[in-house]
Amino acid sequence: MNEEFLQYVWKQRLFDHSKLQLSTGELVEIIDVGEQNTDAGPDFFNARIKIDDTIWAGNVEVHINSSDWEKHRHSGNKAYDNVILHVVLNDDKMITRANGETIPALEIIFNDKLYNNYNNLLSNKLWLACRNYLPETDTFLLNEWLTRLLVERLEEKTDYIIKELGKNNNDWGETFYQQLARNFGFKLNAGPFELLARSLPEKFLKKHKDNLMQIEAMLFGQAGMLEENYKEEYFLSLRKEYSFLKHKFSLVPMEKHLWKFSKSRPVNFPTLRIAQFAALLHRSDGLFSQILETENITGLQSLFNISASEFWDTHYVFGKSSVKKKKVLGDTAFQVIVINTVVPFLFVYGRIKDDISLKDRAVSFLEKLKPERNSIITKWEQSGISPVNAFHTQALIHLKNTYCNQKKCLNCRIGNKIITAF
Return d(Cα 129, Cα 122) in angstroms, integer. 7
pLDDT at residue 98 above 90?
no
Compute φ and ψ for 310, nearest 5 degrees.
Answer: -55, -40
pLDDT at residue 285 above 90?
no
pLDDT in tens, 372-407: 999 999 999 999 999 999 999 999 999 999 999 999
Counting Cα atoms < 13 Å in the Cβ hemisphere of 234 gives 18
pLDDT at residue 24 above 90?
no
Return d(Cα 387, Cα 56) in angstroms, integer. 48
Return d(Cα 417, Cα 422) in angstroms, integer. 10
Q: Which residues contact 40 (CB under 8 A, 6 or more apart)?
A: 79
pLDDT in tens, 250-274: 999 999 999 999 988 999 999 999 9
pLDDT at residue 19 above 90?
no
Give the bridge partners for 28, in sequence order: 51
pLDDT at residue 136 above 90?
no
With residues binned 3-state (H G I as helix, E B as strand, rest as coil), the percentages for the chain, rounded to 5, are 55, 10, 35
In contact, 372 and 339? CB cutoff 8 Å: yes
Of 1 and 88, the structure prediction assigns the larger pLDDT to 88
Q: What is the mean pLDDT of residues 219-225?
A: 98
3-class SS of residue 316: strand
pLDDT value for 422: 79
The rounded mean pLDDT for the chain is 95
Extents of the domains making up the chain: 3-110, 168-368
pLDDT value for 97: 84
Cα 249 to chain centroid, rounded: 36
Q: What is the mean pLDDT of residues 107-134?
A: 94
Q: What is the mean pLDDT of residues 60-71?
A: 96
Closest to 197 measured CA to CA, from 180, 213, 217: 180
pLDDT value for 100: 84
